[in-house]
Amino acid sequence: MAKRKDKKRSAQLFADLNKISANAQPTSTTHELTRMGKFRFQLLHQWLAENFAPCRVADIGGGKGLLAYLLQENGWTATVIDPTHQALPDKYKDMATNKRVRIATSERVPHVNLAFDQSMTKDFDLLVGMHAHGCNVKIIDAAIAQGKSFVLLPCCIIDEPVYPPHGVHWLQCLADYAFGNGCTIHPFRLNFGGQNIGFYSKNQKPGY
């Protein structure tokens, strides 16, 4: 029952996000497939590759750095910004083959070992926050202030400086915040379990 309610709520949220993003175009998997929970970093990596040209990306709250690693392997310049430094995983699953791929212990991704702050973004083109704790509003503000693109898959509201009005979902509130501050935003959804709805905004630089 709760699951059905969540599904309904998520569909409504996605419809609302579509409404408020002026030029929204359906960009991703809006149909239901078998959920690929194990592959969230791989799914976001694939989605980024389909929607952005390779560029300098900050993976804010990037945790173990698998997203940054996958991007780096495919020609992007990727840096994790996360105050908690964690080692890369030693393996991940390839989505196409469902086979394990080893990551050599010598592999590294650049890592800024600090809490995210707007002053860190000048050398990046794209700011990514997947479940980036307490960083969503900061990412939107930084992208607006410095003309960057951003991609957000927000999760919880804890430690965020903006709080939704009664009855407004956090994701909707954030989208309103971005929209109200002049961003043209586009919703998207990835095919993994959990908070899998996001939105993005592209700056106007050619190539992005």
What does the binding site for ligand SAM look like in residue numbers (CB under 6 A)? Answer: 60-63, 81-84, 115-116, 130-135
Least distance to ligand SAM, CB of residue 63, Å: 3
Least distance to ligand SAM, CB of residue 175, Å: 19
> Which of 20/157 has CB closer to ligand SAM?
157
> Which of 92/179 has CB closer to ligand SAM?
92
Distance, CA of 79 to chain centre: 14
Give the residue nearest to ligand SAM (CB).
61
Long-range pairs for 152-157: beta carbons < 8 A, 24 or more residues apart: 152/128, 152/198, 152/199, 152/200, 153/44, 153/129, 153/190, 153/195, 153/196, 153/197, 153/198, 154/129, 154/195, 154/198, 155/131, 155/195
> Which of 63/198 has CB closer to ligand SAM?
63
Residue 23, class by beta-carbon neighbours within 10 Å (0-12 exposed, 13-18 middle, 19+ buried)?
Answer: exposed
> Which of 134/164 has CB closer to ligand SAM?
134
DSSP, collapsed to helix, strand or coil, labels residue 9 as: helix
> Which of 170/179 has CB closer to ligand SAM?
170
Least distance to ligand SAM, CB of residue 82, Å: 4
- Helix (H) or strand (E) run with residue 207 in it: none
Least distance to ligand SAM, CB of residue 76, Å: 16
Least distance to ligand SAM, CB of residue 204, Å: 27
DSSP, collapsed to helix, strand or coil, labels residue 120 as: helix
